[in-house]
C-alpha cells in the first residue's frame, strides 16, 4: 500500500470568517487559524478592539494569509460596507473566542462594532453562526449567560463547548475555550452530511488482550485507528455513538461515548446488553479467537532445562455472531482482517456470521497505519474502496451504511 497517502483537506473550498473577541483565549485563535488553513479553508479574520489587546492583527494576518478587519469604517472596502461584504461569500462565521459580553450582543441584535454587525447582517439561511464560549467559570454559570446561551441556540446558533479545566485567572471549572484541534474538528463535522441523524451506532475497536499470567498475554497488532475513525465519522454524520475499545492509546472522538475493556469476554459482556438499543453494530475490533483456559496467578518463570511452558486454550465468545442471532438485532457490519485470500475469507465470514455486510482488509498491510484499503462484501457481490486515509474510508463506509439503512426503511 502506498505509504504516501495523505490526510484529506476536509475544509477545501470552504471560506470561514473567524471572529475574535476580547479574552485570553485569543492565543488559541492563532493555532485555530493555522488548523483551519491546513484543513483547506480560506480564513478571513475579524477582530474586536478588545481582541487586539490580547493578540495583534499582524499575527492573525500572517497565519491566515489575508488582511485582518477590525473596523466597520475600514477604507479598504470601496462601498464602506465591510459588514455586508465579508459574509456574502462565507460558508460560516465562527466566533472563537466568544466572550460573555459578545454573546449578549448577539442575543439582543446589538451591533456597535464590525464583528457584531456582520453577524447581524449575514445571510442567515446560508451562512451559519458558530460560537466557542471562553470566560471565567462564574461568568459561564451566571443565569444571564445561560439564558443567552439558550436563546442563541433557539436562534439557530451552534455552540461549541466550552470545556472544563484550569483557567487563566487561577480558578478551575467550565468556561475554557476548546482547543484549536477540537474546534477545527468541530468545524469539519459541522459540514459533513447528517446521513445518520437520529440513529444510534455501537462500534468495537482495537485488539483484545488475553492474559496468560500477571505480565504476559495473547494479543494482536490492531491499533484501533479504523474503529476510532468510524466512530468519528458516525458522530459527524449525526449518530449517537458508543465506542467499546480494547487496550489502545487513542483519544476519544468528541461527542462519542467510550467504554474501555481488555479481554474478549469483557467486550462481549459490554456489547450484548447494549446492542438491542442501537440501530447499527459495527464490529471493527480484532477480537482474539482463543484465550488461555486458566490464568497463572504468578509470572511463569524460565526453568533450568529450557523447556517452554505449555497451556491449554479455550475459544472466546463470538461477539458478532451473538449479536446477529438476537431477535431484535441491529444492522450488523463485520470486519475481516485477513493475511491472504481476502475475498474468499470475507465471503465465508459473511455466511458464517449471517450478517448483511462484511468489510475486509489485509491486516498486516494496515495494522498501526493511518491508511487502509477496504473491500465491501455482501450477498450480491463485492466492491473495493481504494487506498485512502482511514477517516476518508470511514466516511465512505458510514455513507454506505446510511444508504443501506435508508433502503431497508423505504
| pLDDT tens for each residue of 257-269 | 999 999 999 999 9
45-86 pLDDT, tens digit each: 999 999 999 999 999 999 999 999 998 888 787 787 888 889
Distance in angstroms (rounded) separating the CA atoms of residues 161 and 230: 23
Find how far residue 107's CA is from the centre of its chain.
Answer: 29
Q: Would residue 237 count as lying in a domain? A: yes
Active-site residue among 26, 119, 127, 169?
169
Q: What is the mean pLDDT of residues 211-235?
A: 91
Whether 213 and 358 map to the same domain: the answer is: yes
Task: Choose one of 137, 172, 191: the last residue of a domain.
Answer: 191
Last residue of a domain, one of 135, 161, 191: 191
Asked about 169 being catalytic, the answer comes back as yes
- Are residue 168 and residue 242 in the same domain, yes or no? no
Specify the DSSP element, H or E, that contains 406: helix 390-409
Of the three residues 174, 191, 208, the one that is the final residue of a domain is 191
On whether both 229 and 81 belong to a single domain, the answer is no
Range of the domain at 173: 15-191
In this structure, the strands spanning 92-98 and 129-133 are parallel
Q: Is the backbone peptide bond immediately before 162 cis, with ω within 30 degrees of 0?
A: yes
Residue 7 is assigned to a structural domain of this protein? no
Whether residues 182 and 266 share a domain: the answer is no
> Does 157 share its domain with 204?
no
Quick: pLDDT tens for 239-259.
Answer: 999 999 999 999 999 999 999
Cα separation, 356 vs 334, whole angstroms: 9
**213 lies in a domain?**
yes
Under 8 Å between Cβ of 196 and 237 = yes
Verify that 255 and 401 share a domain, yes or no: yes
* Rounded Cα gap, residues 301 and 287, in angstroms: 27
Whether 166 and 251 share a structural domain = no
Tell me the C-alpha distance between 27 and 59, whole Å: 10
Name the domain count of the chain: 2
Amino acid at each position: 500500500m502506498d505509504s504516501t497517502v495523505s490526510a484529506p483537506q476536509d475544509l477545501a473550498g470552504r471560506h470561514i470568517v473567524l471572529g475574535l473577541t476580547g479574552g485570553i483565549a485569543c492565543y488559541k485563535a492563532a493555532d485555530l487559524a493555522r488548523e483551519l488553513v491546513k484543513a483547506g479553508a480560506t480564513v478571513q479574520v475579524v477582530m474586536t478592539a478588545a481582541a487586539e489587546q490580547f493578540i495583534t492583527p499582524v499575527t492573525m494576518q500572517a497565519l491566515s494569509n489575508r488582511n485582518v478587519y477590525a473596523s466597520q469604517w475600514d477604507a479598504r472596502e470601496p462601498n464602506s460596507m465591510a459588514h455586508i461584504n465579508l459574509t456574502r461569500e462565507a460558508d460560516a462565521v465562527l466566533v472563537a473566542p466568544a466572550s460573555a459580553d459578545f454573546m449578549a450582543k448577539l442575543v439582543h441584535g446589538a451591533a456597535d462594532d464590525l464583528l457584531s454587525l456582520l453577524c447581524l447582517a449575514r445571510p442567515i439561511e446560508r451562512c451559519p453562526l458558530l460560537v466557542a464560549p471562553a470566560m471565567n467559570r462564574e461568568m459561564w454559570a451566571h443565569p444571564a449567560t445561560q439564558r443567552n446561551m439558550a436563546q442563541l441556540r433557539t436562534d439557530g446558533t451552534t455552540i461549541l463547548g466550552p470545556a472544563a479545566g484550569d483557567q487563566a485567572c487561577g480558578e478551575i471549572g467550565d468556561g475554557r475555550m476548546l482547543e484549536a484541534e477540537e474546534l477545527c474538528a468541530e468545524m469539519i463535522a459541522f459540514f459533513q452530511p447528517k446521513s445518520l441523524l437520529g440513529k444510534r451506532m455501537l462500534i468495537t475497536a482495537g485488539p483484545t488482550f488475553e492474559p496468560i499470567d500477571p505480565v504476559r498475554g495473547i494479543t494482536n497488532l490492531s491499533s484501533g485507528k479504523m474503529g476510532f475513525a468510524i466512530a468519528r465519522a458516525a458522530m459527524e454524520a449525526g449518530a449517537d455513538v458508543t465506542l467499546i475499545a480494547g487496550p489502545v492509546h487513542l483519544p476519544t472522538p468528541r461527542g462519542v461515548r467510550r467504554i474501555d475493556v481488555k479481554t474478549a469476554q469483557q467486550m462481549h459482556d459490554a456489547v450484548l446488553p447494549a446492542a438491542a438499543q442501537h440501530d447499527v453494530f459495527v464490529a471493527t475490533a480484532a477480537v482474539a479467537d482463543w484465550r488461555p483456559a486458566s490464568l497463572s496467578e504468578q509470572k511463569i518463570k524460565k526453568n533450568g532445562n529450557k523447556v517452554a511452558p505449555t497451556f491449554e486454550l479455550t475459544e472466546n465468545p463470538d461477539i458478532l455472531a451473538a449479536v446477529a442471532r438476537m431477535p431484535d438485532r441491529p444492522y450488523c457490519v463485520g470486519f475481516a482482517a485477513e493475511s491472504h485470500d481476502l475475498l474468499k475469507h470475507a465471503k465465508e465470514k459473511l455466511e458464517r456470521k449471517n450478517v448483511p455486510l462484511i468489510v475486509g482488509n489485509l491486516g498486516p498491510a494496515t495494522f498501526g497505519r493511518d491508511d487502509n484499503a477496504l473491500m465491501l462484501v455482501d450477498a450480491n457481490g463485492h466492491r473495493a474502496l481504494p487506498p485512502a486515509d482511514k477517516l476518508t474510508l470511514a466516511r465512505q463506509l458510514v455513507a454506505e451504511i446510511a444508504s443501506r439503512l435508508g433502503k431497508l426503511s423505504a
